[in-house]
Homo-oligomer: A and B are copies of this chain.
Amino acid sequence: MLKKQLIMESAIELFAKKGIDATSVQQITEHCGISKGAFYLSFKSKDELIFSIIDYFTKNVTANIERSVSEQQNPHDKLAAYFMEIFNILQKYGDFATVFIKEQHFINETLIDKMAYYDELNNKLLLDILRELYPSNVDSLQYDLIIIIKGLIASYGDFIIKNSYPFDIEKLTDSLVEKIKIIAKYGEKSFFTKDMFKSYSSHQPMITKDLIVEELQQLLTHIQDEVLRESLQILEKQIQSESPSKAIILGMLSNLKNEQECDWFCYMMRKYYELNISNTPF
């Protein structure tokens, strides 16, 4: 497990410097002083390495942002916390961000779906923040505000990544919160309608039974907790069964819902079995 970490960190550094395709496995192994064979003891393929890196970061970043935002009581502070957390991450993990932003020919279809999922989570979080901040008067502007916030992050984030030189993130956050506040207050002309936004943001992932089972078995190799393991095993039987029980599936999923590692799996299950209950937060 330690070796995996070492390889991933070396890889991120090299990927950021020269790009994913231009970095060979050989170069990665030389950079961390191991042999090529040892690399393939930790990862099945170069693709698996790329997948692991991206998966690891998106998972952590999403969790950190959500935690940081939820720690704030005041709605205004939530938006500030959102900006602040993202800019801090960009400053800290600029290397990774470079890889992440610039190379999106990941090959893997699953990865694209996963990204879309995290993007959806992010949109939902932003929408919640905005609705809490401006309960009434931004109805028509809320989708534009999301896009604008993302644009600000892209633009100022680019500056942060390119300047390793440390600077006042608090001042930046303060400045951007002000801009959003102003636009929400005085803005009248909206562009995005709800439908446009939905069709833009929600790329419907191709979820198959095989993909779900694969993710399930992946989880079983990590997870220790007995209740979680049993829940997963019961779910596997239901999936393979000819007449799966919605009640059992829903019950087992609720057993998993607090386990961050299972988020993606639960999401796939809900989509596949069309279990989107409108009043659940997720």
Pick from B21, B153, B159, B178: contact of A200, CB under 8 Å: B159
Q: Is the CB of A200 within 8 A of B162?
A: yes
Contacts of A199 in B (CB 8 A): 163
A126 to chain B, nearest CB (A): 12
Q: Give bound CA distance, A162 to B104, whole Å.
A: 13
Pick from B102, B162, B178, B196: contact of A103, CB under 8 Å: B102
Q: Is the CB of B187 within 8 A of A179?
A: yes
Interface membership of A19, Cβ < 8 A: yes
Contacts of A183 in B (CB 8 A): 179, 182-183
Pick from B19, B179, B191: contact of A175, CB under 8 Å: B191
Q: Is the CB of B187 within 8 A of A182?
A: yes
A145 to chain B, nearest CB (A): 10
Within 8 A of B (CB), among A109-167: 144, 147-148, 150-156, 159, 162-163, 167
- Chain A binding surface SS class: helix
Interface membership of A44, Cβ < 8 A: no
For this complex, into which size category does the number of interface residues on chain A fall?
A: 35 or more
Which B residue sits closest to A103, measured CB to CB?
A: B102
Q: Give bound CA distance, A226 to B171, whole Å.
A: 56
Interface membership of A261, Cβ < 8 A: no
Q: Is the CB of B156 within 8 A of A151?
A: yes
Interface string of A209-220 (1 = CB under 8 A from B): 000000000000
Q: Is the CB of B155 within 8 A of A150?
A: yes
Q: Is the CB of B105 within 8 A of A179?
A: no
- Which residues in A have some Cβ–Cβ distance to B below 8 Å? 18-19, 21-22, 102-105, 144, 147-148, 150-156, 159, 162-163, 167, 171-172, 174-176, 178-179, 182-183, 185-191, 196, 199-200
